[in-house]
Amino acid sequence: MNSPASSYMLFTTGGLRYAVNVDYLGEISEMLPEYPIPQAPRFLRGVVNIHGKLAAVFDLSMYVGTGPVKKGCNLLLLKMPETLLAIVVEQMERMISGDEILSFEPGATTIQLADGTAELLDVELLVDSMEKSFVL
Amino acid sequence: MDMSQYHDLFISEVREHLKSISELVLVLESDHKDRATIDSLFRSAHSVKGMAASMGFKQIAELAHGMENLMDRVRQGLDVDAALFDILLSGESALSSMVDDIENGTGAGRDTADLLAKIAAYDPSDRTASESASAVADARDEVGTAGIETPLAARGESPVFQQTVKIKTTVLDRLLQTTGELVTVKHRLSMTSKSLRNRDFSEAMESLGKYIRELHDQVMAVRLIPLSLITERFPRMIRDLARESGKEVTFSMSGVEIELDRSILELLGDPLAHILRNSLDHGIETPSEREAIGKVSTGRVSISVARDKDQVEIRVQDDGRGIDPDKIASVAVAKGFIPKEKASSLSVEEKLLLICHPGFSTAEKVTGISGRGVGMDVVRTTIQSLSGSMSIESETGKGSTFVLRLPLTVAIINVLLVTAGKLTLAVPLTAVERTLELKSDEIALIDDEEVFFLDEGMVPVVSLSTILDIDTGAQNKDTSPIFIAEIKGRKIGVKVDRLLGNHEVFVKPLPRPLSAFERLSGATVLGDGEVVFIVDILSKTL
C-alpha cells in the first residue's frame, strides 16, 4: 500500500519517471529471452523464466502510450501474492525514503520530489486493470 | 508442561477417532446388536476423552465422556433405537466443530449442555427426568479423574518407533516442485547430450534419467491419497439428506481405496458431494412414488471407482427417475442458452450436459438440498480444471450415472506439442483423442464451416491459431495436421501448423496477470529453455 511513510524505487521508462513502493520489489535483471503469450495485448511482450519462475514482461510505456522503450533496458521484477510482473525499465534511478517526498496527496498519481515529479505506480490496481483488459 | 507441540498430533488423532465414530454409527444402524461395533464405539469415545483431557480441552473430554458412558450402558444391555444414532452423530458433529475451533485458534467453547442432557436422558424405556439430570452431573464429575489416557509423549515415555511418519503437505509440494525442475533440467541435458555425441555422457544421462524417473514415481507415490479420505463423509451425508427429504436410500461405495494426487483430491470433494446431493434431491423418488411405478421403495445410490492406466474413473450412479434429455433441451431453449433449431440437432449426451450450463435448473422448486440452480456448472469446470472430463448417462425412469474421468496427478503430465504460427504450445494428452493429417480435399466447407468425415460422422474443424488469435500468415498447404479433442461430448478437429509429438512436462502454475487468460492452464519449460504455454482446450466453447 502506497503511503508517505514507505520507501520507493525511482526508475524511468518511455521518457517518464515512476516511483514504485519497495515492498513490491523482487529483483533487477538484465533482459532475458522472451516467449510470446497467446492472446496477449501488445503491452505484455512475452514471458520470461527467472530462476525457474515465470513472469509476464510488461511494457509500461506502451501501456500508458508514451512510445516505445529504448534499447539496453533492464527488467524490474515486481512481486505480490500470486503475482509476478517484469517491467521493462530504461533506467533504474535510486531509492528514496518517504521524507524525500515533498507532497503526497492521498489518491494522487503523481508525487513531488526536490528534483521534479514521479508517477506513483499502484501495482495492485495496475494488475487488476490489466487483467480486466484481456479477459476475453 | 507446554503441550502446544502436541496440538497437531492431537487434532489429527482425534479426527481419526471421530471419523471412526461416524462410520461405526452407520454400521450399528444396520445391525443394532453388533457387539464388535458397540465395543469399537465405546473405545473411540474413550480415546477422545483421554486425549482431550490430557491436553486440557475439558469440554471435549466432557462430551466424549458422555458418549463413552452411553456406549457403556449399551454394552451393559441398554436397548438401542434410532434416537441413539442421532445422539451419537450429533456428538460427533459437535466434537468435530470443537476440534475445528482448536485448529483455527478460536477456542473450544461450544454449548453442549443440551446434548449432554440428551445423552444422559437416553433410554428407550423412558427413564425419568431426575435420573437424567443426575446422570449429566455424574458425567461432568467423572471427567478428568477416571480412566483418562495420557499420550506416551505427554507422559515423557519413549514412543514405540512407527513405520510411518507425518509430513507437512508444504514439504510434499516442495518435493514435487523440485522433482519437476529436475525433469526440466534432464530434458536440457538430454539435448546437450545429443549435440555432444559423447558416449560416456550419454550413458550418464541415461542413468540420470532412470533415477529421476524413479524419484518422480516415489514422490508421486508419497503424494497419493486414497479417495476414501474424501468419500468417508458421504454415508453420513446421504443418511441425513434421505431423512430430511423423507426418502429411503441405500448407499454403497467401491474402489475408494484407489489413490489420487492430493492436489486433485482437495478439489474433488465438493463436486462429488454436489452430484450426490442432486441424486438424492432430483433423482431418487419418495418411497410412495417408487412403489407406484413398481420399484422397490428403497432407492440406491453408489460411487464406484476404477483405475484405467494413468486415469481414474468415478461413477456416481442412482436408480431414480433419470433425466429426460428432451426436457433439458426445452428448458435450455426457454432460458435462451441455445437456439431452438440447434436443440433438435444435439445428441442425447449433449442434451444431458446442458444441465452444466451456468444458471440451469429444472427443479420445480428450490430445495435446501441441492441449492439454487448453481452447482453443476461449477462441478464441470472444476473437473476440467483438473484436466479431467465429465459425461452423463441417463435413462428416464431408471436412473442416472455421472462419469468423471481424472488424471492421477496434474503436476507432471504428458502433452502433445504443436505449433501455431511462431508459437509452440502444449495440449494435455488427456484432451487429445488422436492425431491425423488431412489432405486439403478431405476438408469440406458446409454452412461456412470446415468439416471432415471420420468414422462415418461429420467432425467440425477449428484452427488453434484462430482460437488463440495467433497470426500464422498466408496458409496454403496440401495437408493439415489435426488433433481430435472431445469437447462437451462432441468431437472437434483442431488444426495446427505442426504436430511435434508427445512430451512429459512439469506444469508450472501461471502467476497473475497471466492466470487471467482463460485458455491457458499453465506453462512449462522445454529442454532448450523455451517457455511453452499449456492450452486448456476444454475450458471454453469453441
A86 touches chain B (CB under 8 A): no
C-alpha cell, B419: 505449433
pTM, two decimals, is 0.57
B119-157 core/surface letters (b: 16 or more CB in 10 A; e: else): bbbbbeeeeeeeebeebbeebeebbbeeebeebeebeee
Among partner residues A49, A84, A130, which is closest to B525 by beta-carbon distance?
A: A49
Q: Partners of B261 in the beta sheet?
A: B224
A102 touches chain B (CB under 8 A): no
The reply to whether residue B533 touches residue A83, judged by beta carbons under 8 angstroms, is no
pLDDT above 90: residue B165 = no
Alpha-carbon distance of B254 to B228, in angstroms, equals 10
C-alpha cell, B413: 503430465
Distances (CA, A) of B110 to A60, B3, B55, B89, B106: 54, 22, 17, 16, 11
**pLDDT value, residue A36:** 93
Burial class (CB in 10 A: 0-12, 13-18, 19+), B240: middle
Alpha-carbon distance of A38 to A57, in angstroms, equals 13
A106 touches chain B (CB under 8 A): no
Suggest the residue from B507, B512, B520 to mutate for an interface test with chain A (most A CBs closer than 10 A).
B512
pLDDT above 80: residue A49 = yes
A130 touches chain B (CB under 8 A): yes
Coil/strand/helix, residue B228: helix
**pLDDT value, residue B372:** 37
Confidence band (pLDDT; 50, 70, 90) for B516? Answer: confident
Cell 437416553 maps to which residue? B122
pLDDT above 70: residue B80 = yes
Q: Which of B87-91, B172-176, B360-364 has the highest mean pLDDT?
A: B87-91
DSSP structure class, residue B429: G
The closest of B395, B244, B386, B387 to B318, measured between CA atoms, is B395
Roughly what angle, to the nearest 10 degrees, separates helices B113-121 and B129-142?
A: 120
* Mean pLDDT for chain B overall: 82
Q: Which of A122-136, B284-298, B401-415, B451-465 has the highest mean pLDDT?
A: B284-298
The reply to whether residue A38 touches residue B525, judged by beta carbons under 8 angstroms, is no
| Cα dihedral A91, A94, A99, A100 sign | negative
Confidence band (pLDDT; 50, 70, 90) for B489? Answer: low
The set of residues, in sequence order, having a beta carbon less than 8 Å from that of A133 and lying 6+ positions away, is A41
CATH superfamily of B4-159: HPT domain (1.20.120.160)
Coil/strand/helix, residue B22: helix
The reply to whether residue B515 touches residue A36, judged by beta carbons under 8 angstroms, is no
Suggest the residue from B465, B469, B520, B531 to mutate for an interface test with chain A (most A CBs closer than 10 A).
B531
B212 touches chain A (CB under 8 A): no
Helices (H), ranges, B197-294? 199-223, 228-231, 234-245, 262-278, 287-292
**pLDDT value, residue B342:** 79
pLDDT above 90: residue B311 = no
**Three-state SS string across B133-190, please?**
HHHHHHHHHHCCCCCCCCCCCCCCCCCCCCCCCCCCHHHHHHHHHHHHHHHHHHHHHH
B176 touches chain A (CB under 8 A): no
Q: Where are chain B's structural domains?
A: 4-159, 164-225, 227-407, 412-535
Q: Where are chain A's structural domains?
A: 8-133
pLDDT above 90: residue A10 = yes
Q: Which residues of A touch B468 (CB under 8 A)?
A: 38-39
Min Cα–Cα distance to chain A from B484, Å: 21
Among partner residues A38, A47, A135, which is closest to B468 by beta-carbon distance?
A: A38
Q: Residue range A38-58: average pLDDT?
A: 91
Query: Contact B523/A84 with Cβ under 8 angstroms?
Result: no
| Cα dihedral B140, B146, B149, B153 sign | positive
Query: Which residue of chain A comes nearest to B466, CA vs CA?
Result: A39
Q: Residue range B286-312: average pLDDT?
A: 90
Among partner residues A36, A52, A54, which is closest to B511 by beta-carbon distance?
A: A54
- pLDDT, one tens digit per residue, over A86-125 is 999 999 999 998 888 887 776 668 888 888 899 999 998 8
Confidence band (pLDDT; 50, 70, 90) for B291? Answer: very high
Q: Which residues of A touch B510 (CB under 8 A)?
A: 54
- pLDDT, one tens digit per residue, over B382-439 is 887 777 788 899 999 999 999 998 877 777 788 999 999 889 999 988 888 899 998 8
Query: Which residue of chain B comes nearest to A55, CA vs CA?
Result: B511
Among partner residues A36, A53, A127, which is closest to B422 by beta-carbon distance?
A: A36
Provide the greatest CA pair distance for chain B.
Answer: 93
Coil/strand/helix, residue B289: helix
Domain made up of B412-535: CATH architecture: Beta Barrel (2.40)
The reply to whether residue A134 touches residue B516, judged by beta carbons under 8 angstroms, is yes
B471 touches chain A (CB under 8 A): no
Q: What would you report as the CA-atom Rg of chain A, rounded to the nearest whole angstrom?
A: 15
Distances (CA, A) of A18 to A44, A92, A111, B46, B124: 18, 10, 9, 66, 78
* A8-133 CATH: 2.40.50.180
Instruction: Please tell me the least confidently modeled range out of A126-135, B52-61, B137-146.
Output: B137-146
Burial class (CB in 10 A: 0-12, 13-18, 19+), B253: middle
Min Cα–Cα distance to chain A from B187, Å: 14
Which is higher by pLDDT, A44 or A108? A44
**pLDDT value, residue B474:** 63
Among partner residues B420, B513, B530, which is closest to A56 by beta-carbon distance?
A: B513
**pLDDT value, residue A109:** 81
The closest of B409, B418, B452 to B532, measured between CA atoms, is B418
The reply to whether residue A47 touches residue B531, judged by beta carbons under 8 angstroms, is yes
At B41, which amino acid appears?
A: L
Q: How many CB pairs under 8 A join A and B?
A: 75
Among the four given CATH numbers 3.30.565.10, 1.25.40.10, 3.40.50.1100, 3.40.190.10, the one describing domain B227-407? 3.30.565.10
- Count how many Cα atoms sit within 13 Å of the Cα of residue B393 in the half-sphere of its side chain: 10
The set of residues, in sequence order, having a beta carbon less than 8 Å from that of B466 and lying 6+ positions away, is none
Confidence band (pLDDT; 50, 70, 90) for B542? Answer: very low
A39 touches chain B (CB under 8 A): yes
**pLDDT value, residue B3:** 58
Q: What angle do CA A31, A36, A40 make, to 5 degrees?
A: 115
B516 touches chain A (CB under 8 A): yes
- pLDDT, one tens digit per residue, over B333-372 is 888 888 888 788 888 888 898 888 777 765 444 344 444 3
Confidence band (pLDDT; 50, 70, 90) for B145? Answer: very low
B366-375 core/surface letters (b: 16 or more CB in 10 A; e: else): eeebbbeeeb
- pLDDT, one tens digit per residue, over A58-69 is 999 999 888 778
The reply to whether residue A82 touches residue B512, judged by beta carbons under 8 angstroms, is yes
B453 touches chain A (CB under 8 A): no
The reply to whether residue A35 touches residue B517, judged by beta carbons under 8 angstroms, is no
- pLDDT, one tens digit per residue, over B211-237 is 988 898 888 888 888 899 889 889 988
The closest of A14, A13, A49 to A29, measured between CA atoms, is A49
A77 touches chain B (CB under 8 A): no
**pLDDT value, residue A60:** 92
pLDDT above 80: residue B539 = no
**pLDDT value, residue B364:** 42
Query: Which residue of chain B comes nearest to A80, CA vs CA?
Result: B512
DSSP structure class, residue B510: P
